[in-house]
Amino acid sequence: MRANALVELVERVSDAHEGPICFAGDDLVTLAHMTAGIEDAIRVTGIIDRHGRVAPERLAELKRLVPAMDLETERTLEDKTNALLEVIGNAEGLHEFLSEALRDGCVVVNN
């Protein structure tokens, strides 16, 4: 599973350095690659409909799997069914940032 591989990568890079976690070279390539295509991967599973919404009865299950989904605040049910789409948007933004850093020869630092 991609999530487990991401955790393993971050832990390996973190264990290799004291202080901030730095992604460069092959590690940055791997991280950028792993963050690509998240929406397509989720769509293939059928978790979201053609509009990007999650069925209300699946929200509790997905909250356990995707802690970044905002289901705790005072939001309408419709907003909550779109919460996974918000996470997907954030992941796509992260992928774009990592790809640009890689293209520009940068090191990405996470404190």
Please report which confidence band the pLDDT of residue 12 belongs to, taking 50, 70 and 90 as the band edges.
very high
Q: Residue count of the chain, please give it.
A: 111
Which residue(s) pair with 54 in the sheet? Answer: 48
Condensed to tens digits (0 to 9), the pLDDT of residues 52-80 reads: 899 999 998 998 888 889 998 889 999 99
What does the DSSP 8-state code read for residue 55?
P
The overall average pLDDT reported for the chain is 91
Alpha-carbon distance 5 to 48, whole Å? 23
Question: What average pLDDT does the segment 15-40 reach?
Answer: 91
Backbone angles phi, psi at 54, to 5 degrees: -100, 140
What are the CA-CA distances from residue 19 to residues 6, 23, 24, 32, 99 (Å)?
A: 19, 13, 15, 22, 24
Alpha-carbon distance 78 to 70, whole Å? 12
Q: Supply the Cα-derived Rg of the chain in whole angstroms.
A: 16
pLDDT for the residue 1: 73
Alpha-carbon distance 102 to 31, whole Å? 10
